[in-house]
Amino acid sequence: MDYLAQQLINGLTLGSIYGLIAIGYTMVYGIIGMINFAHGDVFMVGSFVSLICILLFGITGSTDIMIGIGILMIVAVIAMAISGVYGWTIERLAYRPLRGSFRLAPLITAIGVSIFLQNFVQETQGARVKPLQALFAGGFTLHEGTEFTVRITYMQILIVVLTIVLMTGFSLLISKTSLGRAQRACEQDLKMTQLLGIDVDRTISMTFVIGAMLAAVAGLMYLLYYGVIDFFIGFSAGVKAFTAAVLGGIGSLPGAMIGGVLIGLIEVLFAAYFSSEYKDVAAFSMLIIVLIFLPQGLLGRPEIEKV
């Protein structure tokens, strides 16, 4: 029982990270109906920017926790800004010129961008894994069991709280601001929105920027949680986050978050009870199973094919 509780805590933390990445997939898919294959690599870039900032600011395990968290917030803002520029540039160069082209064209450029980004980072940052010593190693002991002690680390609390804050802010952005209104309109009908005088190009660009920003925060969290990153993390995290978006119902924002948490839980529980070597197989099989049996996801609308 204690072991299960511990795994649930771990799964929730991991799921928060996947959920934040999944938002980027689901928003882009909702508006222009394409899978942004390079999104996982934007997450990876965000992770590297965070690593560089942490090294530049010189936070170590011995930094006072309050100051440390303050600096981490600054790191998050910088990572969001730079990743946002990446997201904007990718959309501008690789996707926008192909809007209205045949359907697979933007998907192929997206794969191209993904391969390019991975190898660009590999060339410039080196192929070796980048270890970072643990920051704020402490935690609370929740339950002292006979065989197993349930612990929640400060880092896990930070990740979950930060995710909740970002999700709240993001939901407000979508429901209250004019940008959010424009995004929802674009999601319903792109052409009609354009006729009503909304700058559709700008709205789509902003969607990519916001998605990239959330992915950057997820990158920071991934770095803090695992303490080691390399140029290839975007691939499997990207596929899992996409699975989360599909599971929650693609196009649905709360769905992405729920899907993220579910995928995180499935991965952690599978690793804990069956085999940690096959945990990726579990997550990827989940994608196939969901698409076969529940193609519209948990909260999504069934897709109507239009001629």
Partner 1 sequence: MTQSHNDRSQDFGQALPGIIKRSLFTVAIAAIIFVPTLLLRTQASQATNTLFILYRWEFFAIGCAFILLWRVIYEIRAWQNAHGPRKVSARPQAQENRFAPYVGPVLLIAAILMPFMPFTDRYILDIGILIITYVMLGWGLQIVVGLAGLLDLGYVAFYAVGAYSYALLAEHFGFGFWICLPLAGVFAATWGVILGFPVLRLRGDYLAIVTLAFGEIIRVVLLNWRDFTGGSNGLSNIPRPSFFGIPFSQGPDGFAATFGLEFSSLQRMGFLYFLILALALLTFYISSRLRKLPMGRAWEALREDEIACRSLGLNTINTKLSAFAIGAMFGGFAGSFFAAKQAFISPESFNFMESATILAIVVLGGMSSQLGVVFSSIAMVGGIEALRQLQFLKAIFGNDFDPSSLRLLFFGLAMVIVMLWRPRGFVSSRVPTVFFREKKSVGSSMISQGRG
Find the shortest distance in angstroms from Cβ 216 to partner 1. Answer: 11
Q: Is 105 in the site for partner 1 (CB under 8 A)?
A: yes
Name the burial class of residue 104, with classes exposed (0-12), middle (13-18) and buried (19+) by CB atoms within 10 angstroms of its CB: exposed
Shortest Å distance, C-beta 263 to partner 1: 13
Among 27, 35, 213, 268, binds partner 1 (CB under 8 A): 35
Residue 306 neighbours by CB under 8 Å, 6+ apart: none
Distances (CA, A) of 272 to 1, 2, 155, 301: 13, 13, 20, 34
Q: Is 184 exposed, middle or buried (0-12, 13-18, 19+ CB in 10 A)?
A: middle
Decide whether 214 or 246 has the Cβ nearer to partner 1: 246
% helix, strand, coil for the chain, step of 5: 75, 5, 20
Asked if 298 interacts with partner 1 (CB under 8 A), we say: no
Distance between CA 226 and CA 57 in Å, rounded? 20
What residue has token string 């909260």? 299
Q: Which is nearer to partner 1, 104 or 165 (CB)?
A: 104
Ranges within 108-127 binding partner 1 (CB under 8 A):
108-109, 111-126
Q: Does 233 bind partner 1 (CB under 8 A)?
A: no
Distance in Å, CB of 124 to partner 1, minimum: 4
Whether residue 46 contacts residue 216, with contact meaning beta carbons closer than 8 Å, is answered with yes
Query: Where on the chain is the footprint of partner 1 (CB under 8 A)?
Result: 34-35, 45, 48-49, 51-52, 55-56, 81-82, 85-86, 88-89, 93-94, 97-98, 100-105, 107-109, 111-126, 128, 130-133, 235-236, 239, 242-243, 246, 275, 277-278, 280-281, 284-285, 287-288, 291-292, 295, 303, 305, 307
